[in-house]
Amino acid sequence: MAAYVHVNLRVTDPAKQAALAPRFQAALQEAGGRILHFGRVAQVLEGDETPLPMAGVFEFPTLAQALAFYNSEKYAPIKAERRKAQQARMFVVEAG
């Protein structure tokens, strides 16, 4: 059953963000994931919480693969750099 990682973020260091993006994309693909969407939040439809300006959705074949990627040694240094380049909220959902 597919799993989807949703991220809502604000880039705080554009140079660091640009430098880590290709490494993130390569690690994501290597782990079986793919980017379904990444772009600006167009409009809030419901809710009181203001979203951060950017949003992304990444798809994995399974929840186990999504969690394995997030907790992997390969992603750990990218995650640490990402946290210096952006403010983010992230969660995973399982389809079905």
Is 85 inside a domain boundary?
Answer: yes
Query: Structural domain of residue 60, as residue ranges?
Result: 3-40+53-94
pLDDT for residue 96: 84
pLDDT tens profile 16-53: 999 999 999 999 999 999 999 999 999 999 999 999 99
Q: Which tokens in the block code for residue 45?
A: 């439809």
Is 59 inside a domain boundary?
Answer: yes
Task: Indicate which CATH number applies to the domain containing 83.
Answer: 3.30.70.100
pLDDT for residue 32: 97
pLDDT for residue 12: 97
Tokens 């260091």, located at residue: 13
Closest C-alpha among 89, 77, 80, 92 to residue 10: 89
pLDDT tens profile 66-96: 999 999 999 999 999 999 999 999 999 999 8
Number of compact structural domains in the chain: 1
Is 78 inside a domain boundary?
Answer: yes
